Chain A
C-alpha cells in the first residue's frame, strides 16, 4: 500500500490547520455562511437533513487497519456510533458537529486521510477495482496509476473550478468491477502482445440525469504519458464544458454534443502541446509508487484446501469468497447488507473488527467497494473459517454477494437534502421479502440498485433492476428500471412503466423475478433473460 511521504503529509496537515482557522472564524462571526459554505464543502462537510455530514475520502477504496480503526473511532467519538460506506468507496458520517470537524480532520490526517475534494466541481477521489492487486483475472494492478492520479489531481489549481464535478475510475482486468464506463473518465490498464502495460481511455460516461456510456477516446496510451493526456482531456472540458446550465455541464454532454471524434481531435492537439511542456512526472516517480504496491509476502506453501464441513461456512465461501491470484489465498467480501439492514452502514465496533481482521489475516489491507461492501483482499484459505466465525458473531457474514439481497441504496430521503424519496426502507423491505438465501441463490446474480433522486448515487441506471425515487405531488413514488449493467457489458436500464408506491414496487420486483424463473434458459442471469425476451413479458406480469 502507498505510504504518505513528507510532502503528502505536509499538505494534509496544512489543510487541517487552514480549515481549523476557517471554522474558528465562522464560529466567531468573521466569516458569513455564504463565505464559509464553499470552504466547508472543500473539506467534505455538507449540511444535510439532520446535521452536518462529513464525507471522508478513501483513496481508490484502499485502507490499512490503522486507518479503518480511526474510521471506527470517529464514529464513536464524534458521531452516533456508525458510518455509511458509499458508492464512491468513501465513508460518510451523518451527525457531525461543526465545532468537532477540525479535530476529526486532525485524527484523519494522523493516519494519512482527509476529506479533501469529496465535494465541489473538482476532480473527486479516484475509484478503482476493489479487487486490485488480488484478483485472479487481473491483467495489471491499477492502484499505482490511481495513486499517481491522486497526487496529480489533489489541489490541481487549473481544475479546481470545473464546470461540474469530475470522477475518474480505473480498472486492471477485463471484468469491470468499478463501473468504469459510467465515469467522466474511465481507464482500463491493458497489456499488449509484448506484455507491455498501456491504458485504454474512455471519456464521457456518467449516470445522473442523462446516463451515458463513455466511448473509447484512446485505445492505447503509454502509462508514462497518463498525466499529460488526462491534463489534455480536462483542459478541453474546462475550456468548452457548459457553465450556463448545470444539468448540461458534465463532460458527457460535451463529448456527446461535439462527438467523440471531435473531442478526441481536440484532446490530441492539446496533448501534443502539453508534451512539449514536460509536465509528466518522471518515470522514476511511477516506479517509486509501483514499488509500494508490490505483492505482500504470500506463502507459496499456503494450502489450497478449504474444510467445508460447516454448511453455513461453505455457503458463505461459495458466495462471498473470490479467486485470488496467489494459490492458497482467497478474496473475502464482507457484506454490509444483512437481511433488513441498512446497505453500507457499519457500527463503530464492526468497523474496528474489520480492521482487526485485516491486520490479523489480510496483510493489513481492506477495500471499500462501490457496492457498499468491505473487502479483505488477501486471506489464506486456511484462515477463512476463523475469519468467518468472527464475522458471523458480529453480524457481518451474510452470504449474499451479488444476489438480490446485496442491494445498493443511497441515503435517500432519510438523510439527503436532495432526495425525493426514501431509498433505505425500500431496500430493507426487498431484502426481507427475499430473505431466504436459497431463494436468492436460485435467482442468481441480480444487481438491484436504488437511488432516492435522479442524481443516481445509488446507480439505479446500472442495476439489472433499478429503482428511482420520485416526488409525485409530495408523495414518494418509485420508478422501476430493467436492463442496466455496470460490468464489462455496461448498459443503461430503462423505465418499464408507471411508478409504484413503496409496497407496490416490492410486489412488482417479486413478479419480475417470477417471470425470470419461468422463462430463463440454462446459465442465464436475470439480466440475460431480460435482454433476450425484452420488456413485454415483465410488463404483462407487473401491470397485468
Chain B
C-alpha cells in the first residue's frame, strides 16, 4: 500500500526563525499539525508573508503514515525535527527513533 501523498506548506517564523508548518488556519512548529493544501498555496503565502507571520514559505510533498505527516525530502525532515547531532535541542529530544525517522 503506497502512502497517501499530498502537499504541505512550510516556512520560518519571521521573528524567531523557527521552522513552521501551515495548519490550514495558522502556523505550528509541529509537522504533524501540517494540513494538506488545496490549490491556494500562492495566496496563502502572499497573505501570510504580507502579514509577517512567515518568511521564505514554500510548498513540499509529504506523506502520512502511522507516525503522522512525513515530508518527502530529508532536508524537510531535518527541519521538522532539528539537527540530528543535537537532538537535545530538537523537538524530539527524548525520542531515540527521531534520527531513524529523518534518515
Q: Which residues from chain A sit less than 8 Å from chain B, CB to CB?
A: 26-27, 29, 32-33, 47, 49-52, 80, 94-99, 342, 413-415, 417, 419, 422, 424-425, 428, 474-476
Contacts and interface: CB of A to CB of B under 8 A. Distances in A.
B32 interface: no
A51 B75 contact: no
A415 B15 contact: no
Contacts of B84: 414, 422, 425
Nearest to B84: A414
Given A33-B55, A342-B85, A47 B17 contact: yes
Given A33-B55, A50-B83, A474-B74, 10 more contacts: A51-B16, A51-B18, A94-B83, A97-B16, A98-B14, A413-B75, A424-B85, A425-B84, A476-B74, A476-B103
A27 B52 contact: yes
A51 B12 contact: yes
Contacts of B18: 50-51
A475 B72 CA distance: 11
Contacts, number: 73
Chain B at the A interface: mostly helix, strand, loop or mixed? mixed
B17 A425 contact: no
| List of 10 A-B pairs having minimum Cβ-Cβ separation, nearest first | A51-B17, A414-B83, A52-B17, A424-B85, A97-B16, A414-B85, A49-B79, A33-B55, A99-B15, A80-B89
Contacts of B72: 474
A50 B15 contact: no
B49 interface: yes
Contacts of A415: 83
A536 B13 CA distance: 52
Chain A at the B interface: mostly helix, strand, loop or mixed? mixed
B35 interface: no
30 contacts: A26-B14, A33-B14, A33-B49, A33-B55, A47-B17, A49-B19, A49-B75, A49-B83, A50-B18, A50-B79, A94-B83, A95-B17, A96-B17, A97-B16, A98-B14, A99-B15, A99-B16, A342-B86, A413-B74, A413-B75, A414-B78, A414-B86, A415-B83, A422-B78, A422-B84, A424-B85, A425-B84, A428-B85, A474-B74, A476-B103
Contacts of B56: 33, 47
Contacts of B79: 49-50
Nearest to A52: B17
A256 B56 CA distance: 37
B78 A49 contact: yes
A347 to B, nearest CB: 12
Nearest to B75: A413
B73 interface: yes
B75 A419 contact: yes
Interface in B11-64: 12, 14-19, 49-50, 52, 55-56
B75 A98 contact: no
Contact of A27 (B14, B73, B83, B85): B14
Tell which of A422, A474, A475 has the most Cβ of chain B within 10 Å.
Answer: A422
B69 to A, nearest CB: 17
Contacts of A94: 83
Contacts of B19: 49-51
A229 B89 CA distance: 48
B45 to A, nearest CB: 11
